[in-house]
Amino acid sequence: MSLHEEKRSILEQAARKLIVKNTSAFSMLGAAVNGMMNGGFDKEMAAPVFGFDAESKEPLDELILISILNALDAKDIDVIFQRYAQRRGLKF
């Protein structure tokens, strides 16, 4: 796996964790995922919140993940990599 692919994978893992964990900062995301799991949250409801096309053929969880990744700025990404590397004893 190239360094670019590895970094992308780390970002995706981090974003997925943000979606799943229902912390106060991400309570809306947690509620969205819980709603998706229970079938009560659909693309039409999520589209205006996350800024994607409700007619997209992509799965809802992927659309939300892409929206979160697009919202990360360079500082957020740097923090994610630093924390990941620190836990794994790696250096990027």
**pLDDT value at position 72?**
78
Count CA atoms within 13 Å of residue 75 on its CB side.
Answer: 0
Check if the beta carbon of residue 19 is closer than 8 Å to that of residue 29.
yes
pLDDT in tens, 29-62: 666 666 665 766 678 888 887 889 999 999 887 8
pTM equals: 0.55
Range of the domain at 41: 3-88
pLDDT over 90 for what percent of the chain?
A: 7
Phi-psi region of 39 (alpha: psi -120 to 50; beta: other; left: phi over 0): left
H-assigned helices in the chain: 3-20, 27-37, 43-50, 60-71, 74-88
Count of structural domains within the chain: 1
Q: Is residue 29 exposed (0-12), middle (13-18) or buried (19+ Cβ within 10 Å)? A: buried
